[in-house]
Chain A
């Protein structure tokens, strides 16, 4: 009889946990969550407002913020591709040929990854729990406690994570496309905010009952209370909150049930296994000895086959080969860019992402009253630019990751790297393809915004205002984000680690901005640091903005130079053999110039501020 602990479910569960232990992402998440908790403990609002850092109220308050800021993207990172991974690496036939039921496999995968996710998340409460032993000047600390941390973590984080985890896992498994999952995760914020706004008129009970993150808990009764009152508060769960949690668990169960009934381990109709996965030829297992198949493949047979398939000798026509000089390299770049962009356009996730971006940016305009600060066009362009920034960040991070790692995942890298094209051709074509995709999205959103403006009769339509807003605010920001993502992918070598680090950096910048640290020097995308009036009216404001954009572009050039320097493929040795600069020499020169430009423009920007 099979022991409970040797069931296929347990085996799949354990393997997922083991697999995750060997990945960098969970450790990166542990670091990010612990660092985040440390920041909230020492530099959050508790000290300034007299809140005890280990009070029930502050724990719940922290968990609310934590779930809102980190939940969708990090959950997508962990839960989006466990099943896709099996199909990608080709282990699926080995697994599905074993006596493993669909439920055992899916549940093992789901809970194995969810367990790892929860283990990472728990660091967010473990850190402040351990920090109870310490305090800084002016910090209020109540008598040490343990249970509330875990109790509230379970209630507010684990259950809140369960439903999105099930949704992402289901979507990823059924579509076998992790980018659709990331698209969903990125759209979580606008959707959640829209949901909150839609519920605004409802009584608090309903708003709490229908809030997937329980973000509104206490919003009606805790506001305006003194620090002492809040420090003594014991947070208990009423019927509405419990109903909410039951609802979330039910959503997760429904998702998993749908997945169970819809999941098929078979090949998709019309798509071969290889096409679905990669285009690597199947290889027969090889022994550790030499192989002579003369027995199986007789000479007579060989002659017959040779006659049947004898290929006619076709002489290859002579061709001129030009691989040196800027013109040849430009042609190689255009060829590579064409292919990279074609491959990006073929991404199935764009079918979801592109309409979603248009819809969300349109919603931003259609759902609210438009008050023209400078002009209608400036307001339309400004609002869509702000919403678009979030999506452009998602595109820069996720599609860059896809583009940068595609060649190695498809194992075409050795073939590509053996051709006489310099490294910048490969790297810049990938960078430019992602940039081009972002610019296409901007164009779609601009067309949507202009159409809405015309439809609502908000004349006059100023196309140059749109152009100015997008070209000055968004384009350099996108260039920076794609360059940063490209550099991170090269430096960190791991797609998922890059995702985690990018999200952490973005989260830290968002946090800093929220805390009032919104200096233009470390906000290259100018998030919340510009107004349509600056662009349209004042010439000195515009000059300052333009200098900042040069600063942003110089940083981008520096990041690309770094990416080129650390690119794994090597073409030359030395910086300037025979008195001529090599690719590495040029890269160092461009990097140095970028640093100088960034320093000069940075000084101008900080002086002006």
Chain B
């Protein structure tokens, strides 16, 4: 179990990245959703022992992640948002290296583990290939393979599917859902809503360094069921709709504009039809509520 209490971080530039975040996360895939600059990566870096918070506590299964960093690193698998690999090493050599660093000392065990990891991430055929020639998806899979070494209890994956094609993304989703076991927390940080709705049993939304929602994706969607409506209009009419309704989003569609609006009091007009809400609708609704309160 991952417990975070009152975590605060302000950078030297004065940017307050985390404003006292508290979370309790059980085993399984946990989605941390938020726009760029919300504080996700800062939180991930602190959890990965790479950044020192100003105050607060983090514990995984009782191990203090701030005071006992080496103990924390023994329980940790980390796939950062942006990472590189030594281009001249092969996939196998890369995993060998990380396995040794993670303390898998026995050569035979290490070989078996690497075989299994490569098989699992579908890189067995590329094991002798230099990492420099890998595609983005292959690198990402190798990244997750290294994060799985050493039976980690907390796996942090920061924006893992950004830039991947649909096939690779799906492969990655399957991998992540397999990883999450009874004793493992997979913390998935992303700004791609569909990743969270596909994979996560629990989620939190972070914005401006604060948790603004903590629930399951189903509960979030249930909150906005039957209140999202959609219509397609000419571009010139969008401003009229904006003045009359609470517009959630606009998107170009076949030369016209597809407009989604919130209307908790029923159909806003004849031209509108009900739509299945998404987490993005939930998020935007939440943000507009917060802004109106402020």
Q: Which residues of A contact B (CB under 8 A)?
A: 271-272, 274-275, 278-284, 286-295, 297, 301-302, 305-306, 308-323, 328, 331-332, 334-336, 338-339, 342-343, 346, 410-412, 414-422, 425, 569-573
Contact = CB atoms under 8 A, between A and B. Distances in A.
A20 to B, nearest CB: 23
Interface in B107-132: 109-110, 112-113, 116-117, 119-122, 130-132
B191 interface: yes
Contacts of B98: 415, 419
B194 A321 contact: no
B134 interface: yes
Nearest to A334: B100
A290 B35 contact: yes
Interface string B77-95: 1111011111111000100
Contact of A292 (B100, B113, B192): B192
A292 B193 contact: yes
Contacts of B106: 319-320
Given A286-B191, A292-B280, A309-B167, A319 B178 contact: no
A278 B132 CA distance: 8
Contact of B103 (A295, A315, A323, A342): A323
Given A281-B163, A292-B278, A319-B109, A420 B194 contact: no
Contacts, number: 223
B225 interface: no
Nearest to B68: A572
A311 B121 CA distance: 8
A309 B174 CA distance: 9
A314 B117 CA distance: 8
A569 B112 CA distance: 31
Nearest to A310: B174
Q: Which of A281, A336, A342, A410 has the most CB of B within 10 A?
A: A281
Interface string B18-51: 0000000000000001111100000001001110
A419 B280 CA distance: 35
Given A292-B279, A418-B49, A420-B70, A410 B116 contact: no
Given A291-B192, A317-B112, A305 B167 contact: yes
20 contacts: A274-B87, A281-B139, A288-B37, A289-B35, A292-B194, A301-B166, A305-B166, A305-B170, A308-B167, A316-B151, A317-B109, A319-B150, A338-B97, A414-B50, A418-B48, A418-B77, A420-B76, A421-B101, A570-B69, A572-B68
Contacts of A422: 70
A420 B103 contact: yes
Contacts of B74: 321, 323, 420
Contacts of A282: 136, 163
A7 to B, nearest CB: 35
B172 to A, nearest CB: 10
Contacts of A346: 88
Contacts of A343: 86, 88-89
Given A305-B170, A571-B69, A573-B67, A342 B100 contact: no
Contacts of B70: 323, 420, 422, 571-572
A317 B83 CA distance: 26
B45 A342 contact: no
B202 interface: no
Interface string B121-159: 110000000111110100110010010101100000000
B71 to A, nearest CB: 8
Contacts of B163: 281-284
Contact of A306 (B77, B84, B100, B174): B174
A295 B280 CA distance: 12
A294 B280 CA distance: 11
Given A302-B170, A313-B120, A415-B79, 15 more contacts: A278-B84, A279-B132, A282-B163, A289-B35, A291-B192, A297-B166, A313-B178, A316-B148, A320-B104, A323-B70, A336-B101, A339-B97, A415-B78, A415-B146, A422-B70
A278 B134 CA distance: 11
A418 B50 contact: yes
A583 to B, nearest CB: 9
Contact of B82 (A319, A411, A571): A411
A297 B165 CA distance: 10
Contact of B162 (A286, A321, A335): A286
A321 B174 contact: no
